[in-house]
Amino acid sequence: MVDEWLGDLRSLRDLKRSTIRSYSEAVRAFCHFTTDPLYEWTATCEERFGTHPVQVVHEWNTAVHVQDNEADAKKRAFTKAELHAFFAHCDDEVARIRAFGRKGWLPAFRDATLFKTAYAFGLRRNETRMLDAADFGRNPHGGEFGEYGRCQVRFGKAKKGSPPKRRGVLTVFDWTPDVLDEWFTEVRPLFGTNDNPAAWPSERGLRIGCQRLNSRFIAYRKSLGLDEGLDFHSFRRSYVTHLIEDGWDPRFVQEQVGHEHASTTSLYTCVSSDFRTRTLRRHLDATIAAALETQTGRQA
């Protein structure tokens, strides 16, 4: 039955390989518990039912974790042009809805600001969704960013059996304070959020839900004709990629996104062909210049 169930998950429900492996590991752990001699379940079952439990999950009938990265190969970062077009479309939608006198411009403005914030700080979807207004503050070493010099992430991705990880993310883009200041001082109060600490309040609840974020993102992506390789997590991939392309120190980028290992950050880095071409050209020019200088020195 385990084989049939896992086969159904793969072929019919089309679940991710990592999800299927997680399910099979749960069954493996339960079977290990029921067959452990310490608890004497096997002897008790043999005595009462004439049979006993056995381990049914093995390496040969389950998905094996053999690669460091199992992300969907289609998933990628935005190019800078695509990201600019996406954010411009977000703003255009706010203006379009507001021009018709509809109330929907407030949620559209909220979502546009949320998307920009996810990119501005390299955040995961739930990290962004769970932000409170109080999570933004000053950076004493970056006074030019004012009240939005840092973002305190309190619901980072947790390790198995551990609480959410916390980290502080420093503001790096000069446009970020203007976007956040407009939202928190002019637009967010229109939601009637006097007793609501959430940075992104919902019209009917405490804060916006993941499903709403997904549906808005997909709608904008389809409107722009972008491919399905772009999802909400692409903001985080883009943050890492664009900082690396712009020459930021890889260690700094790793600390910003909260990766324990540099190898994890490298998996997020989807440098463009233009960046690679510029890097190659720079090193080739340096090599040629050094060779010419050496040859000139010999002739002299």
pLDDT in tens, 67-88: 445 556 788 899 999 999 999 9
Q: How confident is the model at residue 292 (pLDDT cuts 50, 70, 90)?
A: confident
Residue 217 has pLDDT above 90, yes or no: yes
Which pLDDT score is estimated for 66?
Answer: 47
Q: What is the pLDDT of residues 269-284, one digit of tens each?
A: 665 656 666 666 777 7
Quick one: three-class SS letters along 186-254? HHHHHHCCCCCCECCCCCCCCCCCHHHHHHHHHHHHHHHCCCCCCCCCHHHHHHHHHHHHCCCCHHHHH
Alpha carbon 121 to chain centroid, angstroms: 10
What average pLDDT does this structure show over 25-47? 91
Which pLDDT score is estimated for 184?
Answer: 95
What average pLDDT does this structure show over 252-272? 76
Residue 111 has pLDDT above 70, yes or no: yes
Q: Considering the chain, what is the average pLDDT of its residues?
A: 87
Give the 3-state secondary structure of residue 39: helix
Separation CA 121–CA 115 (nearest Å): 10
Separation CA 36–CA 106 (nearest Å): 57
Q: What is the pLDDT of residues 44-61, one digit of tens each?
A: 999 999 999 999 988 877
Separation CA 4–CA 247 (nearest Å): 50
Residue 102 has pLDDT above 80, yes or no: no
